[in-house]
Every structure is written in structure tokens, then in C-alpha cells.
Amino acid sequence: MFVIFGATGHVGRASASALRRAGQRVRAVVRDAAQADALAAIGCEIALADLNDANSVARAIDGAQAVQWLCPVPHPHDDPAAAMRHIIDTGVAALRLAAPPQLLALSDYGAEHASGTGITTLFHYLETQLRTIASPLTLLRSAEHMQNWARVLPVALGQGVLPSLHDPLDKLFPTVAAQDVGALAAQLLLDGGPSRATPRVVSIEAKERVSALGVARTLAELSGRPVVARQVPRGEWHAVLRGSGLGERYAQLIVDLYDAHNAGRIDVEANVSERRFGTTTLKQVLEPLLSRMSGTETAAR
């Protein structure tokens, strides 16, 4: 039985689907049964779990031959960093009670840094805590997900301006499609866990790196509307993020992350990671996002 946490998200759903296509039994762990219909339809067993309850998590992993662990960032929480560390501690406590034969954790580029990288420092904490579990461990670090650009599509198409915290606008940075991360995670699970005592670290990004200018050009091409990239001045980052609805502490985590990004600290860890490359392009990710957005606009008229 392959147990997939975060199975309703882009990555988890892709992993569950790939494992089912391979004929494997999959238990999809969800927080809300109402979101599980699509997973049940492909033959997944559904397990409800409260990630803040170690006993609930332990029940979800009971009998697992392998566990894919995704720890969400609790965006709406007043203190998302503390809330995420609590989820990590809870999950690790459950995994220690019955260490699975194989454990794969989804992490981020830059997770080797203990401080100064905003949200990514939470994935450093995740990796550190998971190393205390007896299971053979694979750490799958991914680049920035292409799907994250969905957050600014309404502004980009409505105003013709793509706001960016990347500096400079022509700087190439790694990204990856979430479905490619999920597919690789499933393949690593099927291949079996690492045989050596130290964790196996695998990185994934798309074959080609992109820039904010390149994202704007792709949006303009797909939408048929003029779109230009515009760098948000550093002094305005916090106010812009707060204005978009983010809480005070979450906004600061984003500011710290992009400071680290622009300093070149969010990248593949040299001489450590096994490097893999996704095949999905930025255009292939943005096109359906724009189609869904256009459909929503049409329905609202």
C-alpha cells in the first residue's frame, strides 16, 4: 500500500494517478472527504487525517509499504511558520511509532540552508526532523512550481502588467510543473527506497529555466493581449503582499524567500542532489490556467 499525503493537490494527485496506472494500491490521505471523489474514482482508498493529531496520522499510515509525505504551509494561520513546524513535529512523531519501509518527503530548492530563506527554512526543519526516523528516506526537492503564476494572472491579463519579485527581470531561475514532481515522486517510490544510510536527495526542475520577462511573453502569446513584466520595488514588497490578502508573518516569509532567491541561494545544492528534469513546459502549464480563467469570466457575464 502506497500512502500519499496531500493527495488532492497537484503533486499528490499526479503521484496517486501514476501509482494507480502502475497497478498499485494507493491510500489517498485527505483532510476533507468532499475533495476525494476524483481520487476514489481512480480506485484510491480514502483516509481522512488531521495533520495536527499524531494518532490520526498514524492510522493513515498503518500497513504502508511506502509513504509520500507532504507538509502544507498553513497560509491562513496567524503564525504559519509555527503552525507548519507543529504539523511536522506531529507527523514525525507518528512516523517514529511505525517507521514505514520507505519514506519520500517533498521538499524545496534551498532546503539545505538553516536560515535566511523564508518559507524554505521550514523545509530545512522538515528535512532535519525526518532524518531522525528509521525509514530509508528520499528527499525530493523541487524548484518553484509553474502553477504559482496563477495567483497573478488576473492582474496580468486585466492590467497588462505581470508583477514580479524576481530581480532582475531577465534573470533565469528554475521552475517545474507540479505534475512532473508528482510523476517523479511516484517513480522513485516504485524504484524502492535508498539502500544507503544517508538520505537520498533528488532535485527536479524543468529542462529550461525562465525569467519574469519570459513568463510575460508567454502570457501575451497565449492570451493575445499585451503583457509586460514589471519589477515590484523592494520597498513595496511587504505592502503589496499584505494588500493581496496575506497575513503579516506570511508576507514576511515571502519577502525573505525572494531576497534569498535574488541572492542566488534558492537553487540546486551543489554535489549533493541527483538532478532530474521535467518535460512539461511553462506554456503547457499556463495554457489550461488561462482557459479556465476565460471560462470563469464568460460564466460571470
Query: In sequence order, what DSSP letters do the residues of 201-242 get, joined into one string?
Result: EEEEEESS-B-HHHHHHHHHHHHSS--EEEEPPGGGHHHHHH
The pair phi, psi for residue 275, each rounded to 5°, is -95, 130
**How many angstroms separate the CA atoms of 176 and 238, rounded?**
26
Residue 251 lies in a domain: no
Residue 49 lies in a domain: yes
Residue 296 lies in a domain: no
Residue 186 lies in a domain: yes
Residue 160 lies in a domain: no
Q: Measure CA of the first residue to CA of the last residue in the chain; give whole Å.
A: 47
The pLDDT of 14-43, averaged and rounded, is 95
Cross-strand pairs, 176: 145
Residue 64 lies in a domain: yes
The pLDDT of 85-114, averaged and rounded, is 95
What's the CATH number where 118 sits?
3.40.50.720
> Quick one: pLDDT band at residue 296, thresholds 50, 70, 90?
low
**How many angstroms separate the CA atoms of 112 and 108, rounded?**
9
For residue 299, the model assigns a pLDDT of 38
Residue 184 lies in a domain: yes
**Closest C-alpha among 113, 54, 157 to residue 257:** 113
Helix (H) or strand (E) holding 59: helix 54-61
**How many angstroms separate the CA atoms of 285 and 1, rounded?**
31
Helix (H) or strand (E) holding 104: strand 103-108
Q: Which residue has the higher pLDDT, 102 or 33?
A: 102
Q: Identify the residue whose cell numbers are 503547457.
A: 284
Q: Write the single-letter amino acid at 112.
A: E
Name 99's Cβ contacts closer than 8 Å, sequence gap at least 6: 133, 134, 135
**How many angstroms separate the CA atoms of 181 and 176, rounded?**
7
Q: Write the single-letter amino acid at 165.
A: L
Mean residue pLDDT of the chain comes to 93
- The count of domains in the chain is 1
Residue 236 lies in a domain: no
For residue 75, the model assigns a pLDDT of 85
- Per residue in 156-201, pLDDT (tens digit) is 999 999 999 999 999 999 999 999 999 999 999 999 877 666 799 9
Domain boundaries, position 107 = 2-145+176-205+267-278
**Closest C-alpha among 37, 39, 40, 62 to residue 49:** 62
